[in-house]
Amino acid sequence: MAGERVSGAGQHHRALERLYAAAPVNTLFASRLVIEEEGASRIEFEVTEAVFHAAGAAHGTLYFKMLDDAAFYAANTLVTDRFLLTTSFNLHFTKPVREGTVVAEGRWVSGKRRVFVAESRLVDAEGDEIGRGTGTFMKSRISLSSLDGYGGA
């Protein structure tokens, strides 16, 4: 709301949302990151024919990108000074998706110092899980405040 004070965590969450929006790769995907609480993230995106493989469903690249991003941002809510890097990511495809709105939900699982584990899942418009992933993320030497998109309003 206008005039409402935003907590330090809230400021960090809004800055992570801006960072996501500013990443050049996200101009390729109609998507929006929302962080409502520490350790969780949500990315809403549209699947269109532009991301189909030859058999007419979303290519695994899209699954990986959204699962990785959702897990990454859930973990990075716990780190206010450094950018995290994905060191490993495992994913499972459970259902093909052709078109429509899909949500990637990320959740921090463990780690609070240097290495973090987070998981994510993709849910289609019917509420069915279409993919799931687990990632390991490590603090980098990259300061969040040095990245375009993180700072500012």
Residue 61's SS3 state is helix
Q: What is the pLDDT of residues 131-143, one digit of tens each?
A: 999 999 999 999 9
Residue ranges per domain, the chain?
Answer: 8-146
Residue 6 has a pLDDT of 59
CA distances from 50 to 8, 58, 59 (A): 39, 9, 10
CA distances from 111 to 20, 69, 73, 79 (A): 22, 18, 14, 11
Mean pLDDT rounded to a whole number for the chain: 94
> In angstroms, how far is CA 13 from the centroid of its own chain?
12
> In angstroms, how far is CA 100 from the centroid of its own chain?
18
Q: Which helix (H) or strand (E) holds 65?
A: helix 60-76
Contacts of 151 (CB under 8 A, 6+ apart): 15, 145
| Amino acid residing at 95 | K
Domain 8-146: homologous superfamily in CATH: Hotdog Thioesterase (3.10.129.10)
CA distances from 137 to 40, 56, 96, 119, 126 (A): 15, 32, 27, 11, 31
Residue 59 has a pLDDT of 96
Residue 5 has a pLDDT of 53
| Mean per-residue pLDDT, 3-22 | 85
Whole-number Å distance between alpha carbons of 137 and 30: 25
Is a pLDDT exceeding 70 seen at residue 4?
Answer: no
Band (pLDDT 50/70/90 cuts) for residue 105 is very high
